[in-house]
Chain A
Amino acid sequence: MPERAKSNKATTIIVAIVFTISVSGFFMGMRQTVSETEQSEFNTSPHAEIDTQHYSAKPAVDYRDISQAGFGPNADFKSKLSSLKTTLNEQSHISPLLLTEESLRAKRVSRRAYDGAPPIVPHPIAQDNAASCLQCHSKATRIDNVVAPEISHPEYTSCTQCHVSGKGLGSRWNTAEFDLHTGNQFSGNHEAAPVERAYDNSPPTIPHTVHMRQNCMSCHGELGTSPIRTSHPERQSCTQCHVPSGQVDKANFEESPFPFVQELIP
């Protein structure tokens, strides 16, 4: 008995410490949000793309001229890994983590025909294989201001089956000379189903299907693309508390009667 009491006591202390850290962390986090949001105006226009830099980049050298191109280190070149700026835990001047909800939503919408459609890839891709996709997307990756969200369905490996590039074929003759506007009047549904709670402060249900979205963190994690981020990233088992909404499920299966319950009802 005393031993159990001791361990109970230890648990209480640990819980208290964790609690204090998380509460203070939460408020610190909130403070950061306010200060940094102001600095990220750059990306708040609804159609801003994170990789705007691509447009100002110098054109690539033709493959046949590469040997004569005379490549060398440029001004930003760092020869040591240690001298590279790590941005994950630093305050960077543009942080996609801290964009306003509206801009994230606008970006989400611009990359999807409707809510639930596979997002369009916002950068040129390797056209002949999907292996290169996973170089960045197998784990969430952030390089300066560009975030590669983590694959939410790692068992599917033929990425380009569903995700195509919104940047065309990625070669120089495809964008300017052709009219890419199709005038399609399809208007996709972007309204999320309402979140349900059994009572105030109960964990909300998941308002979308979880098919192909097994890894909640790829959208709702720190480096995710959803405007809704987890407030408790230390918790790993999301579906322990959050279950798919009955509203969504209803479309999937008919309610089946309980076969034996009737016998117990007088």
Chain B
Amino acid sequence: MMNMNRRHFLKSTALAAAVAAAQQRANGNYENTELDAALASDGVKWDKAPCRFCGTGCHVRVGVKDNKVVAIQGEQLAEVNKGLLCVKGYHVGGILYGKDRLKEPMLRKNGKLEKITWDEAIEVIAKRVYDKPSEFAIYGSGQWTIPEGYAAQKFIKGGLSNNHIDPNARLCMASAVTGYLSTHGVDEPAGCYDDLDACDVMIMWGNNPAEMHPVLFSRVIDRRTKGEEVKLIDIGTRRTRTTEYSDEYLEFRPQSDLAIANGIAHLLIKNGTYDKEFVSKFCNFRKDTESPSLFGQASTFEEYSQLLEEYTPEHVEAISGVPADKIRMLGDLFGRRDIRITSLWCMGVNQHTRGTNMNRLLHGIHMLSGHFGKPGDAPTSLTGQPSACGTAREVGTLAHALPGGRIVAKDDHRADCEKLWNLPKGRINAKPGYHTMKMWEQFCTATDQGGDINTVWVQVTNPGHTLPHLKKHFQNKKNLKDKFLIVSEVYPTATTKLADLVLPAAMWVEKNGVFGNSERRTQQWFKMVDAPGNARDDCWMTIAVAHKLYEMGLEGMKDKNGNFIFNIVDESGSTVPVWEWKHYYDVNTDEQLYNEYREFTFMKHKDVAPYDELVKARGLRWPVVKKEDGKWHETPFRFMEFSDSYVEKGKGLQFYHSVTKDDKALIWFCPYEAATEEPDSEFPVWLCTGRVLEHWHTGSMTRRIPQLRNAMPHAYLEMNPEDAKEQGLSNGDIAIIETRRGKIELPVWLDGRGHPPRGSIFVPFFDENLLINELTLGDIDPISKEPDYKKCAAVVYKKGAPSPLSKSKG
């Protein structure tokens, strides 16, 4: 009898599993394949995690032995990377084991950082907040896990009511956000990485994915080895590794990408090759207001065409230096209906004083030509951080935002949040806090001169290295004795150098986490090894400080009923004191915070998957919706009926958060405008900064990995050999670069990784010994407030030679 039952059970479950698997394949959905937790015979235990580095969101398989990470594999079950990684990803395990890992909290006493206890550290922070809650700010990160960002968000906006929280993502994708918002009415891409498998043409706008998003780049070029034809067009300001694989290289004068996009739109209209049906069904037109604004003012097709009139191929050539024939080639490609075009961009378009406009124009040419809404036809912005989308954009850890696409300025959005957080009415401040650039400016301005940010708590980022014009935005803090800088970090950095309190943090698989990648994919992992010494989770730090303030009686840390705002419970529903470290891992705090946050995501149809589903999957793309079959389904293509269940039946394509409330997207006209600082007789060359394959952002992690550091030991100056010759510089010589903001010395590398045209130079920013951001410009996009790191005017001369500046002055 028992045997019969068992047989029956096995049979039915097996059948169910087979049917489910078949259904999942048929629907193109994820398979809930769980990694077998069994120890392999060599004693290595494998578990899944997203890679710690960029926004691609590759999954790695982490091999753990004796409480240490000992090996990494590309996760073959992950759709994003299908088993492939880049050199950073393959060495990601090494980031945990640099010899100078921070292990103890340290407080600066008489100019020196000295070891203190966690209790003391938490008390110091709580006291700073308690004394001046309105002048306390958190500077966060696109590397925050979703629960970490959510906790900080709730602490500042729901607890301190000052809205002074902003992430470093402001420096990297704020213009992409404003681009999507002002086009679709809601943030984040409609397409996904599947577009890369389907496109016939891939256009990279000021983008070098061969180095910055190598796994995605390989996904495209590997199609060629399989016999498929893909045309790659590199529109850039210098030759890079990407150029080597491209069919076309269009070199433009910095800032003139605006003119190129307008040139394409001009040709589409002039030649009558724009998609008339698509435009009439799905698009409205917009232009900017006198002073730039997010939603601008209504325009018409006629006015749009008229404004584009001047952007003839010849006019565009005159502005950009790209031959008119190449502009025509682009115009012809967009005019074709038989091919699919994907545009990719990243920092070249976003870190731009007209970044919002450039984003709008790229969406615009795709809409106008109907290259939208089908797999392979997509304008897609890539992100540089593992959770810029997940934590910065979706959790809304920006100074003006609230979770789930809400903003502080809207009464109903604030009311929503107060209700979900069980806060008294009016707790959330309607006034946006300071955005990154303003926050640091205020922090670095003396209190008696109006610098009304008194304390900044930096989590999971390195502003002392990445902010532009570092002296103004960071280093001036040094002389302001009453200002207080708190830094949670894993290694000593340019930021901890000026920190008054350093908190040692757990990182990556030393803690639980959830990230959100560039294609709306939410990814979860579990803690696998212990953090070294007394390093602890950032999320715990936030909750511990909040609870200290609650004990001190700060009203903001109480909800409507007087209870602590972070209520983490056990199975029976009773509160677990997770603010005490020894209890933090008694329950899965991450899961509870994530599920609390999940409630916010439904309003804008960004429904993230339940935590339990994420555990099983290698990330799921929102909106993740439960269908009639009782299963959770992800959405690869948003707004498209064949994929997105929020689109009304029969609509085909529906921008259901349309700005104009008629399910239509906006096509913008934005003119070409000159850069805010262009080369002149004194500073005659363009300075561009960026990344390299081996190092991730400020290199605080990758520079501690021997294999990566040996491959790329330090920063360099890349310049055109002809320019170098004029200055008497040869390979390896030390050059001095000077801008209006400072100067540094760098070794020259000619014909190395990249090849800049005459009159321009490139310097990577990863090297903390050679801080190029002391020279970069602090000018920002008026809408997104994102600074431009790609263009400013500089002068280069050989070390030892007289400065051309003193000559011109003399």
A residues at B contact (CB < 8 Å): 62-64, 113-118, 120, 127-131, 154-158, 160-169, 171-175, 178, 180-189, 191-194, 209, 211-212, 247-248, 250-254, 256-259, 262-263, 265
Residues of B within 8 A of A130 (CB): 241, 244
Residues of B within 8 A of A172 (CB): 731-732
A113–B33 touching, CB < 8 Å: no
Residues of A within 8 A of B732 (CB): 171-173
* CA A131 to CA B215, docked complex, whole Å: 18
Partner of A162, one of B17, B34, B85: B85
B100–A183 touching, CB < 8 Å: yes
Partner of B36, one of A64, A175, A250: A250
Chain B interface size, under 10 / 10 to 19 / 20 to 34 / 35 or more: 35 or more
B63–A189 touching, CB < 8 Å: yes
Give A253's nearest chain B residue, CB to CB: B33
B747–A193 touching, CB < 8 Å: no
Top 5 A-B pairs, shortest CB-CB distance: A164-B711, A183-B99, A189-B70, A161-B214, A186-B94
Q: Is B27 on the interface with A (CB-CB < 8 A)? A: no
Min CB distance, B1 to chain A, in Å? Answer: 15
Residues of A within 8 A of B100 (CB): 183
Q: Is B419 on the interface with A (CB-CB < 8 A)? A: no
> Which of B42, B44, B46, B83 has most A Cβ within 10 Å?
B42
Min CB distance, A55 to chain B, in Å? Answer: 16
* CA A115 to CA B40, docked complex, whole Å: 15
Q: Is B324 on the interface with A (CB-CB < 8 A)? A: no
Residues of B within 8 A of A163 (CB): 87
Q: Given the interface contacts A211-B83, A262-B10, does A182 sit within 8 Å of B703 by beta carbon?
A: yes
Render B188-201 as a binary contact track against A, CB cut-off 8 A, 1 for contact: 00000000000000
Q: Is B708 on the interface with A (CB-CB < 8 A)? A: yes
Min CB distance, A189 to chain B, in Å? Answer: 4
Q: Determine the main DSSP class of B at the interface with A.
A: mixed
> Which of A63, A158, A192 has most B Cβ within 10 Å?
A158
Partner of B222, one of A114, A157, A181, A262: A157
Q: Given the interface contacts A63-B731, A166-B707, A252-B77, does A128 sit within 8 Å of B241 by beta carbon?
A: yes
* CA A64 to CA B733, docked complex, whole Å: 13
List 16 interface pairs A-B (beta carbons < 8 Å), by A numbering. Answer: A63-B750, A64-B725, A113-B90, A116-B72, A128-B751, A129-B244, A155-B222, A155-B226, A163-B87, A182-B703, A247-B40, A252-B77, A253-B33, A254-B33, A259-B17, A259-B18
Q: Given the interface contacts A155-B226, A174-B713, A183-B98, does A118 sit within 8 Å of B68 by beta carbon?
A: no
A-B contacts counted at CB < 8 A amount to 217
B752–A169 touching, CB < 8 Å: yes
B709–A182 touching, CB < 8 Å: yes
B residues at A contact (CB < 8 Å): 7, 10-11, 13-15, 17-18, 33-36, 38, 40-42, 44, 46, 61, 63, 65, 68-74, 76-77, 83-87, 90-91, 93-94, 96-100, 210, 214-215, 217-218, 221-222, 224-226, 239-241, 244-245, 693-694, 703-714, 716, 725, 730-732, 747, 749-755
Q: Given the interface contacts A114-B71, A164-B694, A184-B94, does A250 sit within 8 Å of B711 by beta carbon?
A: no
Residues of B within 8 A of A183 (CB): 98-100, 704
Residues of A within 8 A of B46 (CB): 251
8 new A-B contacts at CB < 8 Å, known A128-B752, A169-B712, A212-B83? A117-B91, A128-B239, A156-B222, A164-B711, A186-B69, A211-B83, A254-B33, A254-B34
Q: Given the interface contacts A165-B711, A169-B713, A257-B13, does A117 sit within 8 Å of B72 by beta carbon?
A: yes
* CA A212 to CA B72, docked complex, whole Å: 14
* CA A182 to CA B91, docked complex, whole Å: 14
A128–B42 touching, CB < 8 Å: no
Q: Given the interface contacts A183-B100, A194-B42, A247-B40, does A128 sit within 8 Å of B33 by beta carbon?
A: no
Give B35's nearest chain A residue, CB to CB: A251
Q: Given the interface contacts A113-B707, A128-B755, does A256 sit within 8 Å of B87 by beta carbon?
A: no
A178–B713 touching, CB < 8 Å: yes
* CA A128 to CA B692, docked complex, whole Å: 12
* CA A93 to CA B14, docked complex, whole Å: 62
Partner of A173, one of B240, B708, B747: B747
* CA A54 to CA B68, docked complex, whole Å: 37
A189–B241 touching, CB < 8 Å: no
Residues of B within 8 A of A162 (CB): 84-87, 90, 214
B713–A118 touching, CB < 8 Å: no
